[in-house]
Amino acid sequence: MVVSNPPKNLEMRDVFGQTLVELGGIYPKMLVLDADLHTSSKAEYFKKAFPTRFFQFGIAEQNMFAAAAGLATQGFIPFPSTFASFVARRALDQLAISICYPSLNVKIPGSYVGIPTSRAGATHNCVEDLAIMRVLPHMRVAAPGDNQDLMAIMRTAIDTEGPVYFRVVRYTLPKLFDHDHKFEWGKGVVLREGTDVTLFGTGMMTSFCMEAADILAQESISAEVVHLASIKPIDTDLINESVAKTGCAVTAENASIIGGFGAAVAEALCEGVPVPMKRVGVPDEWVCSGGVTELLNEFKMQPADICSAARNVMERKGNRSWI
């Protein structure tokens, strides 16, 4: 099954499963490993298409990642698939020492990331994966903004030598990119040009940044929206070029603001063009069970909250009280 232009209303996890099948038809050495979650992650698409290249490990994530490392040493391209919470917490030692230390060619999807996991509660709702993954040497990290972005990331990932981690959110996102969209490591995309404030988004939060920019435009505030799917490496040049023009920045991520995407942008800015900045995302708290909208409101991650952050940094830019 080749998904050249997925329907706009398809959940990202379905596009993930279908793109696995597309890649499996091109790369005979590609394998999918599962930890008893293939019906949730939609790795089941690959199981049906290539049953002899699908391996079920059950609820044994450490074993699955260790096996992925061994398979990679034999020339296979394994995709060990499970929820992000189990990648970042339960199998971290195998991921770090068995895969990242020798820089093995393993592609790691983290499913059910962030707030849209909502009802699963703190055990399954992973908001710390970006902070953990970006600190691991040799690991590349990406968070797609829509279905086309996910497909582009997966195609680039399988052609990239070494370990790759990419997020798959259980959510239906509005379209940001056309079918010919390409993903490149370390490169961001300006989705909307502006002069007053830069809104840096990654993953599903880029769509929220676009909504926020529309709201701000009604107040005659010109917001530039920059999508950074590649979190490690990150596009330092674009980050600094944008804020050199706008003079202030807001970051938005479907993850903890501690050590994650906002921290990566802040690192680039403090070494390049220091400006007033605010991070929108999950604060230093566990995520309780609840509805998606309820949790987005609780943690002030809605487009209106991005607008509030933008007004704040613009005010600080104006009175220079941040110096």
Domain assignments of the chain as residue spans, ordered by start = 12-168, 189-319
Residue 42 banded pLDDT, cuts 50, 70, 90: very high
Instruction: Output the pTM of the full model.
Output: 0.94
Cα 138 to Cα 152: distance, rounded to the nearest angstrom = 21
Domain 12-168 and domain 189-319 have a common topology? yes
Residue 306, pLDDT > 90, answer yes
Beta-carbon count within 10 A of 34 CB:
22
Mean pLDDT value across residues 211-217: 98
* Phi then psi dihedrals of residue 100, to 5 deg: -75, -40
Residue 289, pLDDT > 90, answer no
| CA angle in degrees (0–180, nearest 5) for 203-265-323 | 140
Residue 2, pLDDT > 70, answer no
Which residue is associated with the tokens 């099948």?
21
Q: Helices in 182-228 by DSSP H: which ranges? A: 205-217
Q: 111 in the Ramachandran plot: left (φ > 0), alpha (ψ -120 to 50) or beta?
A: beta
Cα 91 to Cα 99: distance, rounded to the nearest angstrom = 11
Residue 1: per-residue pLDDT:
38
Residue 58, pLDDT > 50, answer yes
Mean pLDDT value across residues 147-165: 97
Residue 23, pLDDT > 60, answer yes
* Phi then psi dihedrals of residue 225, to 5 deg: -110, 120
Residue 274, pLDDT > 70, answer yes
Which are the contacts of 125, defined by CB distance < 8 A and separation ≥ 6? Answer: 85, 112, 114, 115, 117, 118, 287
Beta-carbon count within 10 A of 223 CB:
27
Note the CATH number of domain 189-319: 3.40.50.920
Residue 290: per-residue pLDDT:
87
Mean pLDDT value across residues 2-10: 58
Residue 322: per-residue pLDDT:
45
Residue 82, pLDDT > 90, answer yes
Name the architecture of domain 12-168.
3-Layer(aba) Sandwich (3.40)
